[in-house]
Structure 1
Amino acid sequence: MRRSLLTRRLLATTLPAALVMGSVSSTAVADPMLARNLSSFGLPGGIDTPTAETLADGTLGASLSWSDYARRSNVLFQALPDLSVVLRYSRVEGINDFRGEGYISDRSLDLHYQLLDEQGWRPAVAVGLRDFLGTGVYSGEYIVATRNVTPAIRVSAGLGWGTLAGKPRTIDVADEGGTPNVDDWFTGGANPFGSVSWQVNDRLSLVAEYSNDTYLARYSNGREFQQGDAEPGSNLNLGAYYRLGRNYELGLYTIGGETFGAQFSLALNPREAPYPSGLEKAPAPVRPRPAPAADPDGWSGSWSQDPTAQPAIQKALGDAMAEEGQILEAMALSANRAEVRIRNQRYVNQAEAVGRTARLMSRALPPSVETLVITSTADGVPTSSVTLRRSDLERLENTEAGQIAAASLLSDAPAYAEGMVRSPGIYPRFRWNIRPYLDLGVFSAEDGLTHEVGAQARASYEIVPGLVLTGALRQRVFGNIDQRGPGIGLPGTRGQYYTPEEYLADPALETTPQGVPRVRSDTRMYTGNSSPTIPELTLAWYAKPTETVYTRVTAGLLERAYGGVSAEALWKPANSPLALGIEVNRVRKRDFDSLLDFRDYEVTTGHVSAYYEFAQGFTAQLDVGQYLAGDRGATVTLTREFANGWRIGAFATKTDLSAEEFGEGSFDKGISLSIPIGWATGQPTRDRAGTTLRSLSRDGGARLEVQDRLYDRVRESHSVRLYDGWGRFWR
C-alpha cells in the first residue's frame, strides 16, 4: 500500500527520534509519563518547546504567560489519555495590522498526540500541530521524544518545522483563518530542539531548553515584523516552576538570556474533586424485613385492602424523600409490588437518587412488597424504570454496586401507568430565585476580555405535569460589554463598527455586504441595557406519546435575540445508545431592548439529529438542517462526560455559505464546558456552571438557543449515563 506524503514524513522522523532517545536507558517505567509543567503555549513542555508528556486523562487546564514577545491565554483539555487540545488567544507584540497599535490579537488551536508512552528502553514519543487553524503566526509541527534518565531528570529531543525550526511560514494577508493548511505541514526543513527538566523536590522544577524560534512574522505582502523588542540573543532558554498545592503553578523564565517572562498555570482533574466523597448526609440504611412469624399481617398482604394504607405510606415515603432532595410525584401500590415516580432535584448522578429511593422504600413499605419499581421523571414526564427485588436489595447492600446493577432491570417507562396516584400538593408548583450573574467575553481580537455583572430573578410555575411557565428578569449593574453595532464589513474598514444609532437608522444594514442576514454578528446590540431585560419568557409542554418517543413544544421569548415557537420530537429507548430527533422552529428577531417588541426578520429553522453514546463517556451528535441565517449544513459535536458530571465538548459547523460570505474563521467552531457546582463545593446540587468558547460570533451556522432540549433531559436516567454513574447507587 502506498503511503501518503504526510505519512512518509512522519515515519521518517518519528522512528529515528524514538531510537535515539531509546538508547539513553533501559529502565522500565510503569506509570504514564505525566507533565511536570506547561509550556508558555499551554501544552506539556519546557518553556517554548513541547515534550512527549501528557496530563491525566480528562484534565482541564489554563495558563497565562507574559513576556516582551507575547501575552498568551491558553485553555487545555486532555481529551483522551493520548490527545491534548489547546485553544489559545494571544497578544503578539511588535506586529502592526490595520489598527496600527503595535500588536495583534491572534487565535490559534493546537493538537498534541502521544504516539508511544515510555516503556523499557523506549521513550515516550509525541507528534503535534501548532496553530494549524489560525492565521499562522505560530504555525509549526513537531515530533518529540521524552525519556526519564533518573527519577528526577527528564530529557526531551525532537525535530520541529515552521516556527519550531526557526523558519516561520509566510502568512497570507487575505486568509480569513479557520482552514487547515495541510500542504504546509512538515515542510520547509526541520531543525532539532530539546529540553532537560530537573525535579528538585515535590514543588520546584528547573528547565533548560534549546529553541529555534526567532519570533519573526512574515506576510505575503512583503512586510516582516520582529516580535518583541529584538530577536532572542541565543537559543538557550531557562526556567523555574513552583507548584502551589495540587492544582496551581507559578513560573519564571528567560528567553535567549535577555527577555524575561512569567507564567501562571492551573490544572483541574475531574477525578480529583476537592471533596471526593462529597459532604452530603449519609442515606438511611436498608431495613431488613422481620420474619413472617413476627409480622404475619404485613407478610399476608391483607393491609392492601385497607383504603387508608396507601395514602399513609405514600405520605411517609414522600416526606422521607423530600429530606433527600427528591419529590415523590406519584405511587402505585399493591400487596406485592410498589412503583414510585420520582423527581431528582439534588444529585448529579441519577443512580444515587434511585439508590436512596430504594433504601427509603425498604423502610416504608410493608414486608409483603417484594417488587420495587423506581421510575425517573423529567419535567413531569416518565423517562425510565428500574425494577429490582427487595430481597436483592437486602442481600446486596454491603457489596459493590455492580451486583445490584446485575440484579436490576432497566426498561422504558410507560407514559401512563394503571393505578398511579399523584401525591397531593405537588402541582401546581411555583419556584423562584434571585442570583447574581456574570457574562464573560473571551477570545475577541478587538476587545480582549469583557464582562458584565448584574442580578437575575428567575421563576418557574409548573401548572400540571409537563406544562411549565418559565421567566427571567435581568438588571445590569456594571461591566464593559456596551452596546455596539456590527462590523462594517466593507473593504478598508476592518476593525470598524457601526454606531448603534447608525445601525438602528438603516434597516438595510441588518444584512451583511455579502448578503447574509445579521443573525448573530449584531449580538452586541443586545448588550449595555441599563434598564431591566427579559432574557426568557416561555410556556413549554413536555409529553410522551409512546414509551420511546418524547415531545416538546415551547412558545414565547425563547432566548435573548429570538422569540416564537419551537417544536421537538425525540426517539430514545432507555437501553439504546442511539437516539434520533427532529426540531422545527418558527422565530422572529427580538428588539434590542430585550423586552416584548420584535423586529422584522423572521425565519424557519430546523434540524434532524442523531446522537450516539460511546464508551468512556463520549457522545457524538450530528445535526443537519437549516440555521438562523437561512444557510443549510451540518454540525458535528463530540462531548465527553465523566461520572461526576463534568462535560467538555467540541463542535464544528459547516454550511453552504462560502468562506467569503461567512467571514473571518471560515466556519463556526468552539468548545463547550459544563461543571457541576457540587464538584467544587462538595454539597449535592444539580446546579451547573458552563460556558461556550468560540473565537468569533458569526452569522453562518448560528442555531437557536432553546432551553431544556429533550436529549440531555432524557438521557440522564437511560442506560449509558445511568450505569456510568451506578457506582453511586449505594451513596
Structure 2
Amino acid sequence: MRLRGTVSALTVLSLVCAPVAAQDAAPGLNTYAMPGLVEMPDAGSLARDDLAYSLSVFRNTIRHGVAYQLTDRLTFGLRYNLSYFPTSDGKAFGSEDNFDRSFGLHYRLLNEGTYRPALAVGINDLLGTGRFESEYLVATKSLPGGVTATAGLGWGRLASAGGFSNPLADVFSGLSDRDALGDNNTIGEFNSPQWFQGDAALFGGVAWQATDTLRLAVERSSDAYPLEDGRAFDVRSQYNFGAQYALSDRATLGAAWLYGSEAAVTFSYQINPNEPRNPSGLETAPPPVVVRSAVAADAARPAAADLPAIRAETAARLDEIGIVLHGLTVGDGVARVEIENREYQRSAQAVGRTARVLTAMLPAQVARFDIVLIADALPVSSTQISRADLETYQYAYDNAWAMQTRSARGDAVPGTDPLPGLYPRFTYALSPYVAPSFFDPDAPLRVSAGVALSAEWEPLAGLTFGGVVRKPLLGNLDDATRESTSVLPRVRSEAYLYDKADPALERLTGAYNFRPAPRVYARINAGLLESMFGGVAGEVLWYPSGSRFAMGVEVAHVVQRGFDQDFSFRDYEVTTGHVSGYWDMGAGYHSQLDVGRYLAGDTGATLTVKREFENGWSLGLFATLTDVPFDDFGEGSFDKGVMLTVPVGWVTGQSTRATSDFTLRPVQRDGGARLNLDGRLYDAVRAETAVELDDGWGRFWR
C-alpha cells in the first residue's frame, strides 16, 4: 500500500510546535554514538570538535561507537557491532557470530528556529558489509519544559519495521526497489547505489531533560533487527525506553528497555580537544628577560672573548628548561644559537624561552639573536630577534604580536659546528608498552603488554644508530591463529605470526640525515627497518621553511624478515617507493597524497586528510586505492582507516612533546601496504618550520 503525503510528516512539528528557542544542553547519544533518542537518530549535533565514545550492551550484543563533530553541521561516526548467535546445542558462541565495522555520516540541513524544527539527513554503513545499511531524514523541535520531539523517515534497515512504499518514488521512479538487507555485502565499498531506495518507514519519539543530570526518552523504532530477531534476541515491540544520567560533564551512564524484551546498559564519554583536562600553569615559569642596563647582571655575564664559558653556561641554563644547545657562535653583534626543542609542543615557546636565557648569558654588545631550530641534526628555520625589542616589549599588552611583527623567520642554513663534547652521545630508555589489535574476526580486541628497551648512539651530527627490543609479558596478541587467505604477497596479512616473537627485535637501523641543498632535506637509513622488513631506504624532501607546500621522494629495497623478528629473512623482496605531496591547508587542516609502488608490488595512491588542533590533538582519515581488484584485496576491498594523536601534555598539563598515536583500520590486508619507517623527514621537520612558528607564536612569551 502506498502512503500518500508521508513526507509531510517531517514538517508537522513546524506547524504545531509552540515557539520555543533551541536548547543549549548537549544532545543525548543513541546506542550508535550519534545524536539521538535511544536507538533512533534525532536532528541534533554535538558541539564543534567534540569526540564521543559510547558502549552499549544488551543480550548477545556489544556495540562500540565513536563520533566526531567534523564541522558545526557534519558528524562522522565509526561503529563496531558484535552480535553473538548461540548455537543449537546452547553454546554461548557460534560460528555465525558477526563482528561488523562501518562508517556513518549525519548532516544537519537546517538549524532549529522559533517555529521551525532542526532538520538532518544521515547515512549509516557507508563502508561496511551492508548489515546496518540505512538512511534517514529526521526533524527535532524543542518544546516547553525541557522536552524535545523527534519524527523521522528511514530507509533500508530503518524501514524494516512498518515499511511502506517509498514516497520519493513518486518523483524518482528508480527509488522504488532495493536489495534485501545483507544482499549488498561488497565489504568496504560505498553502498551508494541503494541510498534512499526501497520501502520507507516512520520513526520518532520524545526526550525530556528532567533535571540537569537526568534525561528520559521514549521512541518508536523502525528497525526490526531482521538479521538478529530470534537468533541473538527477540523483538516483541518496536517501542524503546531509555534513561541517561550524567556522571560528569563528560561521562554519562544509561539504561534502556529495548524491543519489549531486552535490558540494555549504556555508557558514553565526550571530550573536546580544544578543552584541556588540566588548566595551564602546571609547566615551569619562563626565565625573565634581563635588561642590559642592569649593572649587576652585566657584571655577572662572561666576557665576549670567553666563548667556551658562554657556551657551557648557556647550555646548562637551557637544559634546565628542556632545551638542548646544539651550537653557539658570536660575531659582529649577532649570536647564532642552534637549539633542539625536546619539551615544548609549540616551538615558538622554545624560541621565546631561549631568547630570555640569552639576555642573561650573552655580553651587552650582542644586539641580535639568530635562533635556529634543529630537528634530527637538520637546521630547519631561523628566527632573528632584536635584543632591544625583547627588553622593550616583555610587559607590553600586545607583546606577542609586537615580537612577531618585529622578528624575521625563514630557512636556516648549515654553518655552526656542534658544541664541543655534544657528540658522540648515547641515550636509552626502558619503558612499558601496550600494543592493541582491533577487529580480529576471532577476537574483537587483542593486546600485548610488556617492556621495551630502546637505545640510540649518535657518533656525530646527523648519523644515528638505534634499535628497539620488546619483551611481551602478558596479553593474547600471540593467540591469533587465523591463517591468511591472501592471493597477494603476504606482506601484512601474516602479521599475527610476527606477533608471536618473544623477545622481538623490532628495529635496528643506521640513519644519516643531511641537507644537500637549500630548502632540501635528505635521509638514508638501512638495517632492520621495521618489524616485518629490512633493507635500505632513501628519502629526499623539498620543503621551504616558509611554505605550506612540500614534496618528497622515497625509495626502498627491502626483504621480508623472519617471523621470529631476529636476524633471519624470508625469500620475498621488493622495491617500493612513493612521490609525496604535502599541503598545509590552513585552519588546522592538512592533506597528503602519496603515489607509487607498495610492498605487495601493487601501484596506486594514498590520500590522507587530518585536522590538527592548537594543543597537539589530531584526527585524520586515510584511504588507499591501488591496481589490486577489490575481490583480490579481500575483506575491506581497499585499505582505509582513522588516525588519532593525543598529546600527553593535554592530559598532564605539563610541557612535553610526547604523544599517544592510534591507527584504526577495519582490517589490515596486503594491498596498499607501506613500510612503517621511523623518522620520515616531513614529520621530523614540520614542527620547526617558519610556518609552524607563526601558527604557534602566541606561546612565544609563555
TM-score of the aligned structures, taking structure 1 as reference length: 0.87
* C-alpha distance in structure 2 between counterparts of 1:643 and 1:340, whole Å: 26
> Cα deviations across residues 170-223 of structure 1 (Å, max 9, x unaligned)?
245683411112121011132222232222223221122221111103xxxxxx
- Which one-letter code corresponds to 1:307 in the other structure? A
Question: Structure 1 residue aligned with 2:356, among 344, 355, 359?
Answer: 359
Contact 1:609–1:624 (Cα < 8 Å) also in 2: yes
Partners of 1:612 and 1:19 lie apart in 2 by: 46
Q: 1:25 to 1:729 in 2, by over 3 A?
A: farther
Distance 1:95 1:659 in 2: 32
| Structure 2 partner of 1:582 | 553
Equivalent residue number for residue 182 of structure 1: 192
Residue pairs, 1:33-182, within 5 angstroms = 35-68=26-59, 70-94=61-85, 100-101=94-95, 103-150=97-144, 152-166=146-160, 170-171=180-181, 175-182=185-192
Q: Give 1:562's aligned residue.
A: 533
The DSSP-based 3-state class of the residue aligned with 2:694 is helix
* Counterpart-to-counterpart distance in 2, 1:39 and 1:71: 14
- Comparing 150-159 with 104-113, greater Cα deviation is found at 150-159
Question: Residue type of the partner of 2:411?
Answer: D
Specify the alignment match of 1:518 in structure 2. Answer: 490
- After superposition, the Cα gap between the structure-2 partners of 1:387 and 1:125, relative to the gap in structure 1 and judged at 3 Å, is farther
The separation in 2 between residues aligned to 1:477 and 1:664, in whole angstroms, is 31
Which range moves more in the overlay, 430-439 or 146-155? 146-155
SS of the residue corresponding to residue 683 of structure 2 reads: helix
Counterparts of 1:624 and 1:686, CA distance in 2: 30
- The offset of 1:14, in angstroms, is 9.2
Q: Is the 8 A contact 2:411 2:690 kept in 1?
A: no
- The one-letter amino acid of 1:21's match is S
Distance between the aligned counterparts of 2:61 and 2:558, measured in 1? 44
CA distance in 2, matches of 1:54, 1:174: 30
Which secondary structure does the structure 2 equivalent of 1:161 belong to?
strand
Helix, strand or coil at the partner of 2:478: coil
Unaligned runs of 5+ in 1: 1-11, 218-223, 490-511
Asked if 1:238 is matched to 2:238, the reply is no
Deviation at 1:421, TM superposition (A): 4.8
Contact 1:354/1:729 (CA < 8 Å) preserved in 2?
Answer: yes
1:265 equivalent in structure 2 = 268
Q: Supply the distance in 1 between the matched residues of 2:477 and 2:96 (Cα, whole angstroms).
A: 24
Q: Give me the whole-angstrom Cα distance separating, in 1, the residues matched to 2:354 and 2:673.
A: 42
**Alpha carbons of structure 1 residues 22 and 373: separation in structure 2 relative to 1, 3 Å:** farther
Match of 2:409 in 1: 410
Look up the SS of the partner of 2:646 in the other structure: strand
- What is the match of residue 465 of structure 1? 461
d(CA) in 2 for partners of 1:562 and 1:315? 43
Distance in 2 between the 1:83 and 1:518 partners? 38
Matched, 1:349 2:346: yes
CA 334–374 in structure 1, closer or farther in 2 if over 3 Å, else same: same
**Partners of 2:87 and 2:538 in 1: CA distance:** 49
Cα deviation per residue 1:475-496 (whole Å; 9 max; x = unaligned)? 111211126565353xxxxxxx
Tell me which amino acid in the other structure corresponds to 2:204: G
Q: In structure 2, which of residues 178, 196, 201 is the aligned counterpart of residue 191 of structure 1?
A: 201
User: Partner residue of 1:252?
Assistant: 255
* Residue 657 (structure 2) aligns with: 686
**Structure 2: distance between partners of 1:34 and 1:389:** 50
Q: Distance in 2 between matches of 1:212 and 1:95?
A: 25
Separation (CA, whole Å) in 2 of partners of 1:693 and 1:13: 40
Aligned-pair identity in percent equals 41
Assess if the C-alpha contact under 8 Å between 1:444 and 1:695 holds in 2.
Answer: no
Alpha-carbon distance, 1:551 to partner: 0.7
Alpha carbons of structure 1 residues 592 and 34: separation in structure 2 relative to 1, 3 Å: farther
CA distance in 1, matches of 2:379, 2:6: 57
**Does 2:233 correspond to 1:229?**
yes
**Map of 1:307 onto structure 2:** 305
Residue 718 of structure 1 corresponds to which residue in structure 2? 689
Q: State how far apart, in whole Å, the 2-side matches of 1:331 and 1:549 are.
A: 23
Unaligned runs of 5+ in 2: 164-177
CA distance in 2, matches of 1:544, 1:369: 29
Matched, 1:276 2:290: no
Change over 3 Å in CA distance of 1:462–1:202 after alignment to 2: farther
Aligned mates of 1:550, 1:115 — CA distance in 2 = 46
Counterpart of 2:601 in structure 1 is 630
Partners of 2:9 and 2:151 within 8 A in 1: no
Shift of 1:242: 1.2
Farther off after superposition, 384-393 or 562-571: 384-393
Cα distance in structure 1, aligned partners of 2:669 and 2:405:
49
Contact persistence 1:114–1:125 (CA under 8 A): yes
Q: How does 1:316-465 map to 2 (within 5 A)?
A: 316-398=313-395, 399-400=397-398, 401-414=400-413, 416-417=414-415, 420-465=416-461
SS of the aligned residue for 2:310 comes to helix
| Corresponding residue number in structure 2 for 1:24 | 17
In the TM superposition, what whole-angstrom CA distance separates every residue of 1:680-723 from its partner, at most 9, and x where no partner exists?
11222222111110011100001100001111111102244333
Closer, same or farther: CA 525–375 of 1 in aligned 2, 3 Å: same
What one-letter code is carried by the residue in structure 2 that aligns with 1:527?
D
Q: 1:71 to 1:322 in 2, by over 3 A?
A: same
In structure 2, distance between residues paired with 1:161 and 1:307:
81
Report SS of the residue matched to 1:580. Answer: strand
Q: Could you report, residue by residue, the CA deviation over 1:504-539 in whole angstroms, capped at 9, with x for unpaired residues?
A: xxxxxxxx4x3x11111111110123x322000011
Q: Relative to structure 2, which stretch is displaced further, 429-438 or 139-148?
A: 139-148
TM-fit CA distance, 1:668: 0.6
2:671 alignment partner, one of 700, 703, 722: 700
**Separation (CA, whole Å) in 1 of partners of 2:298 and 2:452:** 55
Any idea what SS the aligned residue of 1:394 has?
helix
- Residues 686-695 or 120-129, more deviating: 120-129
Contact 2:418 2:461 in 1 (8 A): no
Instruction: Give CA deviations for 1:389-441 in whole Å, capped at 9, x if unaligned.
Output: 22222333233433322222210111x22xx3532322111111111111111
Give 1:26 deviation, angstroms: 4.1
Q: Go from structure 1 to structure 2 and tell me whether the alpha carbon gap of 1:428 and 1:144 turns closer, same or farther (over 3 Å shift).
A: same
Kept after mapping to 1: 8 A contact 2:130/2:185: no
| Closer, same or farther: CA 186–45 of 1 in aligned 2, 3 Å | same
Between 401-410 and 339-348, report the one with greater CA deviation: 401-410
Correspondent of 2:291 among 288, 304, 317: 288
Query: Partner amino acid for 2:273?
Result: P
Question: Are the structure 2 counterparts of residues 94 and 548 from structure 1 closer, same or farther at C-alpha, using a change threshold of 3 Å?
Answer: same
Alignment equivalent of 2:623, drawn from 646, 652, 672: 652
**Residues 296 and 629 from structure 1, CA distance in 2 versus in 1: closer, same or farther, beyond 3 angstroms?**
closer
- Could you state the TM-score of these two structures normalised by the residue count of structure 2? 0.91
Are residues 24 and 359 of structure 1, via their aligned partners in 2, closer, same or farther at CA, if it must alter by over 3 Å? Answer: farther
- Letter aligned with residue 438 of structure 1: V
The letter of the residue matching 2:401 is G
Structure 1 letter corresponding to 2:437 = G
1:110 corresponds to which letter in structure 2? G
Letter in structure 2 aligned against 1:183:
P
Paired position in structure 2 for 1:212? 222
